[in-house]
Amino acid sequence: MDFRLKPEEEELRRQVEDFVREEVIPLEPVFEGAPDIFEGSRWKSRAKLSRDPEVQRYIGIMEELRRKAEARALWHLDVPKRYGGREVSNVAMIAVTEELEKTSVPFELGNHVSNILYACKGEQVERFLLPCIRGEKTACFGLTEPGAGSDPSMMTTTATPDGEDFVIDGTKMFPTFGDVADFVQVFARLPGTKGREGVTCLLVDTGHPGYRVVRSIETIGGSEPCELVFDGCRVPKTQVLGAVGEGWKLNQAWLGARRFQVGIRCHGTALRVMRRVAELLRSEPRERERLAPALGYFYAELQALRSITYHGSWKADRGLDVRLEAASVKLFATELLHRTVDFALEAAGPAAYRKDHDVARAFRHARARRIVEGASEIQRHLIQRALFREGIACIELQ
């Protein structure tokens, strides 16, 4: 196995490194007090409805950064070539994100496009996919239900066929930005089906009759998931994403593909927080001596996280089965980040308890990472299943 990037990937990584150093890092003092909504590429969902001049100021800064990135051809990196993107490999995207994570400014190179939207067909492409790629529309993801979180196969929301339409009925818990997104990718089951069978994904405009936002839930991490009700929500069958009854595969594809980005994000955040602690300890020799062994051990663990993240992405690029790697990276990355920021808060002292301090911000965001997109307990379950039932790991060891 060769972990080196291909020459064109290394060139891209270097360009991103330059962009981050020249354009993004100088903005760090400006972003110290930024509202939490400026996190990742999904800030557009929340920001677009805000009239707050402070929010508008940050939108202006983000838009200026986008223009500069576009001028350097650093936009739409992971978008397929047929939609005008550069379609870079998983490994290259990991290297890009690793560079972006060197700064605390929450900027991403591209608009947020849920990877399952590439299953759009016919008029769906013009109506849903392309506006997301261009940043004109945002989407939310409606999978979790009050009685179906860790195990979405328990979902009870139904999509009942009726002539040329499906009628959706049910409740979805926590779709992030369900109140401000332009449309929802909602998972519902055909009547009379159970488990993974009959699950169907539909694209529904958020203002559509029968779509109701019950509440928006303020969280410690800044994002605002919602409770949504679908009450006789009638949508044409042409709005099914992928095939009728094949939604389970889309759900799995969405979760699997994101894991390695979670790994490198957690790695970058933890490393930044550790650097911050190391800076603070420079002027405190006694504290430094006390905490150095722990810092060293965290650093070793972060190196291990980096390796398994690149390894998993490398396998994904070759079309190999990465279910075990994806679960391992999600589990190890989110648990390690949580331990790291907890340690950093203790080591950095009372100053880091300030709400807008980097370490405090990282602490608030880290907790949700252990829950969303499959909680740690579920990843442990997936790993043990792979080890003992499917034998994936045993085959690897031969």
Ligand X SMILES: Cc1cc2nc3c(=O)[nH]c(=O)nc-3n(C[C@H](O)[C@H](O)[C@H](O)COP(=O)(O)OP(=O)(O)OC[C@H]3O[C@@H](n4cnc5c(N)ncnc54)[C@H](O)[C@@H]3O)c2cc1C
Residue tagged 């159970």 (tokens): 194
As a whole number of Å, the CA-based R_g of the chain is 22
The beta-carbon contacts of 15-18 under 8 Å, at least 24 apart in sequence, are 15/72, 15/74, 16/74, 16/95, 16/96, 16/99, 16/100, 16/109, 17/99, 17/102
* Residue closer to ligand X (CB basis): 95 or 184: 184
Say how many C-beta atoms besides its own lie within 10 A of residue 146's C-beta: 12
Single residue of 110, 131, 170, 175 touching ligand X by CB under 6 A: 175
CA 36 vs. chain centroid, Å, equals: 16
CB of 386 to ligand X, least distance (A): 15
- Tell me how many residues contact ligand X (CB under 6 A): 21
Binding characters for ligand X, 210-249, by CB under 6 A (x = yes): ---------x-x-x-x------------------------
Q: How far is the CB of 331 from ligand X (least distance, A)?
A: 11
Q: Which is nearer to ligand X, 146 or 232 (CB)?
A: 146
Site string for ligand X, 290-319 (x = CB under 6 A): ------------------------------
Q: What 3-state DSSP class applies to 145? A: strand
Q: How far is residue 39 CA from its own chain's centroid?
A: 11
Name residues contacting ligand X, limited to 356-385 (CB under 6 A). Answer: 368, 371-372, 375, 377-378, 381
In this structure, what token pair is assigned to residue 97? Answer: 């994100």
Measured from the CB of residue 140, what is the shortest distance to ligand X in angstroms? Answer: 6
Instruction: Say if residues 344 and 351 touch (Cβ distance below 8 Å).
Output: no
Beta strands in the chain (DSSP E): 139-142, 158-162, 165-176, 183-189, 199-205, 211-216, 225-236, 240-241
For ligand X, which residue has the nearest CB?
Answer: 149
Q: How far is the CB of 381 from ligand X (least distance, A)?
A: 6
Would you give the binding string for ligand X spanning residues 320-359, x where CB under 6 A is met?
----------------------------------------
Site for ligand X in 121-160 (CB under 6 A): 140-144, 149-150
Least separation in angstroms between residue 146's CB and ligand X is 8
Tokens (6 digits) for 166? 């499906």
The distance of closest approach from Cβ of residue 227 to ligand X in the complex, given in angstroms and rounded to an integer, is 11
Closest distance of CB 172 from ligand X, Å:
6
Q: What does the alpha-carbon distance between residue 101 and residue 112 come to, in Å, rounded to a whole number? A: 17
The answer to whether residues 308 and 332 touch, using CB atoms and an 8 Å cutoff, is yes
**Contact status, residue 185 vs residue 139, Cβ threshold 8 Å:** yes
- Please, what is the minimum distance in Å from the beta carbon of residue 200 to ligand X? 15
Of 59 and 371, nearer to ligand X (C-beta) is 371
Q: Which is nearer to ligand X, 49 or 300 (CB)?
A: 49
Nearest residue to 76 (alpha-carbon basis) of 48, 46, 112: 112
- Residue range at the interface with ligand X (CB under 6 A); choices 173-181, 337-345, 348-356, 389-397: 173-181
Q: Give the Cα separation of 364 and 67 in Å (integer).
A: 30
How many CB atoms sit inside 10 A of residue 326's CB? 25
CB of 173 to ligand X, least distance (A): 7
For position 85 contacting ligand X by CB under 6 A, the verdict is no
Q: Which residues bind ligand X (CB under 6 A)?
A: 140-144, 149-150, 174-176, 219, 221, 223, 225, 368, 371-372, 375, 377-378, 381
